[in-house]
Amino acid sequence: MSEDISQRIEQLIRSDEELDAARYAEVAEDLEPDQVALLLESLPRDERQECWEQVPEEQRVDVLVEMRAEARAPLVKELDSRTLDQLISGLDAETLIELGESLPDDVVDIALARMDERQRAHYERSAQYDEDAIGRYVDHDLLILPQNSRVRDAERLLRREVPEYTTHLWLVDRTGRYTGAVPTLSLFGKPDHLPLVDLIDDEIEPLSALRSLKEATEAFEHAEISALPVVDENGLLLGRMSMRLALELLHEQYESQMMASAGLDEEEDLFAPVMRSSRRRATWLGINLLTAFLASWAIGLFEGTLQQVVALAVLMPVVASMGGIAGSQTLTLMIRGLALGQITAANMMPLLRKELSVGGLNGVLWAVVIGIVASWWFSSFAIGVVIALAIVVNIAVAALSGVLIPILLDKLKIDPALSGSVILTTVTDVVGFVVFLGLGSLFLL
């Protein structure tokens, strides 16, 4: 798909031609809404606006839902009142939840007023949950029956239009509380008068609407069915989490972690205004500058040593680099373990011992190699010993930091993927420089 989008972007944007409606229609005629959204996000803002005006009206809502919020907002802002009025006509609760941030409050109120009572109730229940709760994004298109229904009632319901990912029917009591799930396959060959409660699948556990998106996705991964029921704090059935929603959330989580590692938001527009992008990235650069000054300060403590033993300055990057790489390997392993719920107080100490052992073994191995190379390079056995000892210490500290830093950040409710690497790099740089130059001062002067 990425290769196909790249080719279509090149077809749309040609250096010697102006973008025109006919060319957009030719390029995008067979694309699905998610592909159109990706295509639009890949265009500079002026060209994006021109192409958006060529998107068929019946496709616009679906395209907007698929777009990132930051890329979507300018398109919505430019809509005239007539087009905006057409856009909000017939919106369901899930779509309005998705688009709500990009629409003015008065437009959201108009869209709500035009909904039927059922959709309005769905929206109001979903909107009470925050953006990280699964209850906000539930799918309301599911087949529900009273718990006293029989097989003939289920068969009658299944003759109607069946939503995607329907492998179960959901039973509720008179107050709407969830009571169980009946597999549709279990209905075949059963007597018409058989109560559905006799066919309930007891292994299906409903999701709490308060559970985080990450927790809900993990629960879905182990459920082995195409949809899970979602209930509120009182057990009322709100809707379901389908396979499609789970995959979307999984993709967003991966993208969020990848962007967070560079201090960016997953909603960041590829062609966001220069000033806005600069402000966002300036913060991360400022944090990096502070850590760089800290490392420079540590080096400055040994200015006299560096003036007398120039070889130390040449070898300093080797010490820092080896510690940084060793630490990042442990850090990545820990972040994955925390994300999967594998790290607990019970196994933290064995894991710490294991990583220290790995760090110690690799530290000794590469210390010998680097020590021999440094001794030969500078014709000094003492320099080889100094850098070998520094490598051992720094890799051991890197392993220790790679375990403890993400655990500490997780306890403080800070995403380790966001700031763990910055802190780790600072620790390994400072410790590496101080140990290396300190040993140099001790043995070489």
Of 235, 406, 280, 281, the closest CA to residue 335 belongs to 406
DSSP letter string, 63-131: HHHHS-HHHHHHHHHT--HHHHHHHHTT--HHHHHHHGGGS-HHHHHHHHHHS-HHHHHHHHHHHTS-T
Q: At what angle do helices 33-41 and 21-28 cross, to 10 degrees?
A: 130
pLDDT digits (tens, 9 = 90+) for 33-52: 888 888 888 888 887 888 88
pLDDT digits (tens, 9 = 90+) for 220-233: 888 878 899 999 99
**CA-CA distance, 438 to 431, in Å (whole number)?**
10
pLDDT digits (tens, 9 = 90+) for 233-252: 999 999 999 888 888 887 77
Question: Does domain 2-129 bear CATH number 1.25.60.10?
Answer: yes
3-state secondary structure of 243: helix
pLDDT digits (tens, 9 = 90+) for 189-211: 899 999 999 999 988 899 999 99
Is the pLDDT assigned to residue 6 strictly greater than 90?
no
Domain ranges of the chain: 2-129, 144-260, 274-444
pLDDT higher for 175 or 290? 175
Lowest mean pLDDT segment, chosen from 96-100, 220-224, 280-284: 280-284
Superfamily of domain covering 274-444 = SLC41 divalent cation transporters, integral membrane domain (1.10.357.20)
Amino acid found at 210: L
pLDDT of residue 152: 94
**CA-CA distance, 334 to 356, in Å (whole number)?**
13
DSSP letter string, 382-408: HHHHHHHHHHHHHHHHHHHHHHHHHHH
Confidence of residue 15 (pLDDT cuts 50, 70, 90): very low
Is the pLDDT assigned to residue 258 strictly greater than 70?
no
Of 46, 49, 96, 105, the closest CA to residue 72 belongs to 49
> Cα dihedral angle (18, 23, 24, 25), rounded to 10 degrees?
150
β-bridge mates for residue 178, sequence order: 172
**CA-CA distance, 68 to 71, in Å (whole number)?**
5
Instruction: Taking the CA atoms of 396, 400, 401 and 403 in sequence, report the sign of the dihedral they define.
Output: positive
Average pLDDT, the chain: 84
pLDDT digits (tens, 9 = 90+) for 339-367: 767 888 888 888 899 999 999 999 999 99
Confidence of residue 173 (pLDDT cuts 50, 70, 90): very high
**What's the fold here for domain 144-260?**
CBS-domain (3.10.580)
Confidence of residue 277 (pLDDT cuts 50, 70, 90): low
pLDDT digits (tens, 9 = 90+) for 301-341: 888 888 778 888 899 999 989 998 999 889 888 888 887 67
Euclidean distance between the first and the last CA atom of the chain, given in angstroms as a whole number: 62
Of 441, 365, 439, the closest CA to residue 396 belongs to 365
DSSP letter string, 282-348: HHHHHHHHHHHHHHHHHHHTTHHHHHH-HHHHHHHHHHHHHHHHHHHHHHHHHHHHHHTT---HHHH
pLDDT of residue 269: 65
β-bridge mates for residue 228, sequence order: 241
pLDDT digits (tens, 9 = 90+) for 363-406: 999 999 999 999 999 888 999 999 999 999 999 999 999 999 99
pLDDT of residue 416: 81
Confidence of residue 260 (pLDDT cuts 50, 70, 90): low
**CA-CA distance, 256 to 248, in Å (whole number)?**
12
Q: How crowded is the C-beta side of 62, counted as CA atoms within 13 Å?
A: 11
pLDDT of residue 394: 94
CATH topology identical between 2-129 and 144-260? no
Mean pLDDT of 86-99: 83
**CA-CA distance, 39 to 24, in Å (whole number)?**
11
**CA-CA distance, 423 to 287, in Å (whole number)?**
10
Is the pLDDT assigned to residue 410 strictly greater than 80?
yes
